């Protein structure tokens, strides 16, 4: 498989040994840049595409290969996250191609904010799509992210068409994304996609609030508590179809 090892891009950071960014032990590449402004974002320091360090695809692959034995033994690989990986589409695609050329499992953790052409090309080399569904109600989605829901829905549709294994992630934020009817509607919608292997309902937390202060941005959810355990249980029951 041909790829451009000299292709460069900006990464905010790299973490080898990730255990929550896809299956197994993973090398996690945090891409710089994100067009969304999610109210509960815990990595606002990744928003600016100019921050971080420049890498070539070849350099990243060399680093990943150092951990390949751990990847293989655990069923892991590499994960492109961020930020938003699709903010640097050519760099992302070449990285995915290179990983597949070296028989490394690939995952993208994304909001799905990209165009259909880019999504199709990237998903050719993607073993797992981790799609962050910020909300299902379009108005709530716009309030949470600052963008429209259409791109995310299109990426989900394309992944289904290409039969790319997908994990959906949803953060439950009190009085924002915890509307029970919206959750039922989302579950009904997702049942139409057979490529979805898992739906993860994650509790809102404020671990990244201090980062908003560091970049001098107002944080709207200071007084928002984590969801109550009973609300988390009720939400997870709605998505029990995907429980193993």
Nearest to 84 by CA among 25, 128, 145, 141: 145
Tokens 């050329």 locate to 101
Q: Name all domains of the chain by residue range, CATH numbers in brackets.
A: 8-242 (3.20.20.70)
Give the model's pLDDT for residue 243. Answer: 66
Q: Can you tell me the distance from the alpha carbon of 40 to that of 43, in angstroms, rounded to the nearest whole number?
A: 9
Give the model's pLDDT for residue 200. Answer: 96
* Average pLDDT estimate for 171-180: 97
Contact 186/156 with Cβ under 8 angstroms?
A: no
Any alpha helices (H) in the chain, and if so which ranges?
Answer: 57-66, 68-74, 89-101, 116-123, 138-145, 150-162, 180-190, 209-214, 229-238
Question: Strand 166-172's sheet: what is its strand order?
Answer: 53-56, 8-18, 26-31, 77-81, 105-110, 128-132, 166-172, 196-203
Average pLDDT, the chain: 96
**What is this structure's pTM?**
0.96
* Average pLDDT estimate for 32-57: 96
Nearest to 162 by CA among 200, 194, 130: 194
* Average pLDDT estimate for 231-241: 94
77 Cβ partners below 8 Å, 6+ apart?
22, 23, 24, 26, 27, 71, 99, 104, 105, 106, 107, 127
Give the model's pLDDT for residue 65. Answer: 95
130 Cβ partners below 8 Å, 6+ apart?
21, 22, 79, 107, 108, 109, 110, 166, 167, 169
Tokens 């949470």 locate to 144
Residues paired with residue 14 on neighbouring β-strands, in sequence order: 29
Q: Can you tell me the distance from the alpha carbon of 90 to that of 219, in angstroms, rounded to the nearest whole number?
A: 32
* Average pLDDT estimate for 50-65: 96
Confidence of residue 224 (pLDDT cuts 50, 70, 90): very high
CA dihedral 96, 102, 107, 112 (to 10 degrees): 10
Q: Can you tell me the distance from the alpha carbon of 131 to that of 171, in angstroms, rounded to the nearest whole number?
A: 12
Which tokens go with 157? 């549709």
Confidence of residue 55 (pLDDT cuts 50, 70, 90): very high
Give the model's pLDDT for residue 244. Answer: 52
pLDDT at 1 over 90: no
pLDDT at 214 over 80: yes
């Amino acid at each position: 498989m041909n790829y451009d090892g000299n292709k460069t891009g900006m990464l905010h950071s790299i973490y080898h040994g990730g255990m929550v960014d896809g299956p197994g032990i993973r090398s996690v590449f945090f891409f710089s840049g994100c067009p969304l402004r999610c109210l509960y974002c815990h990595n606002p320091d990744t928003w600016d595409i100019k921050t971080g360090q420049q890498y070539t695809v070849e350099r990243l692959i060399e680093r990943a290969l150092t951990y390949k034995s751990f990847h293989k033994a655990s069923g892991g690989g590499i994960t492109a996250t961020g930020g938003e990986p699709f903010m640097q589409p050519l760099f992302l695609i070449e990285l995915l191609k290179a990983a597949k050329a070296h028989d490394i499992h690939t995952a993208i953790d994304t909001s799905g904010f990209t165009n259909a052409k880019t999504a199709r090309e990237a998903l050719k080399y993607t073993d797992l799509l981790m799609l962050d569904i910020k909300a299902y109600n379009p108005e709530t989605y716009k309030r949470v992210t600052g963008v429209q829901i259409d791109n995310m829905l299109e990426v989900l549709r394309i992944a289904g068409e290409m039969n790319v294994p997908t994990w959906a992630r949803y953060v439950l934020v009190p009085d924002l994304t915890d509307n029970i009817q919206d959750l039922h509607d989302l579950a009904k919608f997702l049942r139409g996609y057979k490529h979805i292997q898992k739906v993860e309902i994650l509790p809102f937390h404020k671990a990244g609030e201090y980062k908003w202060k560091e970049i001098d941005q107002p944080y709207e959810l200071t007084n928002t508590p984590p969801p109550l355990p009973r609300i988390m249980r009720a939400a997870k029951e709605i998505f029990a179809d995907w429980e193993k």
